[in-house]
Amino acid sequence: MGQQNSLKKKTIRGLLWSFGDLMGNQGMQFIIQIILARMLLPEHFGLIGMIIVFVAVSNSIVDSGFTQALIREQNTTQTDYSTVFYFNLAVSILIYILIYLMAPSVSVFFGEPELVSLLRVLALGILINAFGIIPRAMLTKEVNFKAQAKVNMASSIISGLVAVGMAAGGFGVWSLVIRTLVMNLIQSLLLVLSKKWVPSLTFSIISFKRLFGFGWKLLVSGLIDTIFVNIYFVIIGRQYSTGQLGYYTNASKFSDMSAQSLSTAIQRVTYPVLSSIKDEKDRLKQSYRKIIKMSAFIIFPIMIGFVVIAEPLIHLLFGEQWLPMVPYFQLLCIGAMLYPIHALNLNILQVKGRSDLYLKLEIFKMIIASILIFLAIWLDLGIFGLVGAAVLSSYTALFINTYYSGREISYSVSEQLRDLIPIYAVAVIMGICTYVAGELLLNGSFIAMLIQIIMGVTFYLTFSKLAKIEELGSIFHLILPVIKKINPIKIN
């Protein structure tokens, strides 16, 4: 009993700091993004969108699935950490050389000469990130997200200030590149200092084989996922204008701010926690069920709410020049609301050591996504068709992920859907009522949008109470101690 309470406290503390990191770090980055969007042109963000896939794929290769393997290991040694560090560093150097050499070809492919220098400089972040992978894995293994939150906040603020200063000085797209590099540099430096970890002069083939045996499947899976998340940037950048890609790029970042960031926050906390009880079947299932329902209860209304208030929100935050990104943003939010559910289902496969199944699922989903992308291009459905394909792919993946992860912990698709559909339905009904209220308010002003948000929250809580969604009570009991600390008056 005491062990369960300790695990519960550790999970809640980790989640609170992880969500604090989410709200602080992502909130700060979002503020900087808004400022930069008002100072720069959509074309500047489009240029970054063209090359972001190369950096994202490279970072996945450098990690090679070793981070998850290290976190999953019960007794990790200094030799294990040192071996992975040297491997990561060597791979990052090789990849940077490859990107440096292929930069001219990338420039020709997109028809943008400036991409040569942009890609070569931006890719330096791959080398920088290699130094922070092990310290971050160690902190995650300890469920220490307090230190990571501080690191991320400091890097966001400093890099943001540098970027805004450069944008004001007329550096254009380079302000976005330098912002990323400064953030990478500060994060890696502070992570190293926070753990005070130094690699030993050792490289163990035994450690490498053991960790890579689990991690290589996650590497391939991660590469497939990364490529297909970013392939839309490549297709849009190749087929359409740089400005249109800029709209899609910011819409994607905006929708990811809540969904993808929340997924990461939940995933990185629950993975080490669930790994610690992976051999306790009933406890693992019940813990996972509570986490997945709570995640849905939080993320579903947020993303539906964004869909409803998208136009006035984007006009207010980014300005009139960014209004063409509204429909992209709305579609992406509909697909992104399932991200935390995907992340948690895939977490179970990693916890149970089924990296082989994880890989098979990614290949299967890649085939489905490829078919949907091909149909969108063949039928000449335009950018909206491509984005719609991404949304449909997300919903198709839900059934695939829940089926196979459910088999591992006896939590079937039908059980998961019975848990999720009531929450989804309440969120959609809330969205419809809030949209109708917004139409009646008409003017789309800040005050009208604020009223919509208040009404949306009220609708959601009321409908959740009527539908007897148990997560509403769980949320209340979670925040009740905080309320009591703020208000010393006794709450009955």
Taking 3-state DSSP, the helix, strand and coil percentages for the chain, each rounded to the nearest 5, stand at: 85, 0, 15
CA distance 367 to 374: 11
Q: What is the pLDDT of residue 491?
A: 40
My answer on whether 223 and 259 are in the same domain is: no
CB 310 within 8 A of CB 431: no
The structural domain count of the chain equals 2
Sign of the Cα pseudo-torsion (330, 332, 338, 344, in order)? negative
Answer with the one of 191, 210, 239 that is the final residue of a domain: 239
Supply the DSSP string of 31-45, one letter for each residue.
HHHHHHHHHS-HHHH
For 222-237, how does the pLDDT look when each residue is reduced to its tens digit (9 = 90+)? Answer: 777 778 778 888 888 8
CA distance 221 to 264: 16
Q: How confident is the model at residue 383 (pLDDT cuts 50, 70, 90)?
A: confident
Strand, helix or coil for residue 77: coil
In terms of Cα–Cα distance, which of 480, 482, 474 is closest to 492? 480
> Between 256 and 454, whose confidence is greater?
454
> Between 475 and 324, whose confidence is greater?
324
Q: How confident is the model at residue 490 (pLDDT cuts 50, 70, 90)?
A: very low
Q: What is the pLDDT of residue 188?
A: 92
Phi, psi of 170 (to 5 degrees): 85, 20
CA distance 386 to 1: 51
74: CB partners within 8 A, 6+ apart: none
CA distance 358 to 258: 25
Write the secondary structure of 371-395 as one string of H (helix), E (strand) and C (coil): HHHHHHHHCCCHHHHHHHHHHHHHH
My answer on whether 307 and 213 are in the same domain is: no
Q: What is the pLDDT of residue 21?
A: 56
For 297-317, how does the pLDDT look when each residue is reduced to its tens digit (9 = 90+)? Answer: 888 999 999 999 998 889 888
Q: Which amino acid is at 337?
A: M
Answer with the one of 239, 262, 281 that is the final residue of a domain: 239
| Cα-based distances in Å from 165 to 31, 38, 156 | 14, 13, 14
Least confident of 7-16, 25-34, 185-194: 7-16
For 431-451, how does the pLDDT look when each residue is reduced to its tens digit (9 = 90+)? Answer: 999 888 877 766 667 787 888
Residue 337: domain span: 246-492
In terms of Cα–Cα distance, which of 281, 265, 283, 221 is closest to 69? 221
Q: How confident is the model at residue 489 (pLDDT cuts 50, 70, 90)?
A: very low
For 308-345, how does the pLDDT look when each residue is reduced to its tens digit (9 = 90+)? Answer: 999 888 988 888 889 999 999 999 999 888 888 887 78
> Between 194 and 107, whose confidence is greater?
107
Residue with tokens 């992920």: 401
> Between 31 and 185, whose confidence is greater?
185
Least confident of 46-60, 131-145, 255-269, 302-316: 255-269
In this structure, the chain runs to a length of 492
My answer on whether 273 and 401 are in the same domain is: yes
CB 210 within 8 A of CB 75: no
Answer with the one of 211, 239, 267 that is the final residue of a domain: 239
My answer on whether 110 and 177 are in the same domain is: yes
User: What mean pLDDT comes out for the span 15-42?
Assistant: 74
In terms of Cα–Cα distance, which of 152, 191, 155 is closest to 20? 152
Start-to-end Cα distance in the chain: 27
My answer on whether 354 and 490 are in the same domain is: yes
My answer on whether 78 and 136 are in the same domain is: yes
pTM to 2 decimal places: 0.78
In terms of Cα–Cα distance, which of 261, 179, 234 is closest to 373? 234
Residue with tokens 């089926």: 403
Asked if pLDDT for residue 126 goes beyond 70, the answer is yes
My answer on whether 251 and 216 are in the same domain is: no
My answer on whether 230 and 266 are in the same domain is: no
Residue with tokens 């980014």: 318
CA distance 70 to 88: 13
CB 51 within 8 A of CB 118: yes
- Per the rule left: phi > 0, alpha: psi between -120 and 50, beta: everything else, 280 is beta
In terms of Cα–Cα distance, which of 389, 466, 400 is closest to 430? 466
CB 391 within 8 A of CB 333: no
CA distance 119 to 112: 11
Q: Which amino acid is at 390?
A: A
Q: What is the pLDDT of residue 492?
A: 41
User: What mean pLDDT comes out for the span 363-386?
Assistant: 87
Phi, psi of 198 (to 5 degrees): -130, 130
My answer on whether 106 and 167 are in the same domain is: yes
User: What mean pLDDT comes out for the span 110-118?
Assistant: 93
Would you give the distance in Å from CA 55 to the centre of its chain?
Answer: 16
My answer on whether 3 and 19 are in the same domain is: yes
CB 336 within 8 A of CB 253: no
My answer on whether 216 and 263 are in the same domain is: no
> Between 248 and 20, whose confidence is greater?
248
CA distance 220 to 166: 37
Sign of the Cα pseudo-torsion (156, 159, 164, 170, in order)? negative
Strand, helix or coil for residue 410: coil
Phi, psi of 299 (to 5 degrees): -80, -35
My answer on whether 190 and 81 are in the same domain is: yes
246: CB partners within 8 A, 6+ apart: 41, 42, 43, 44, 45, 46, 49
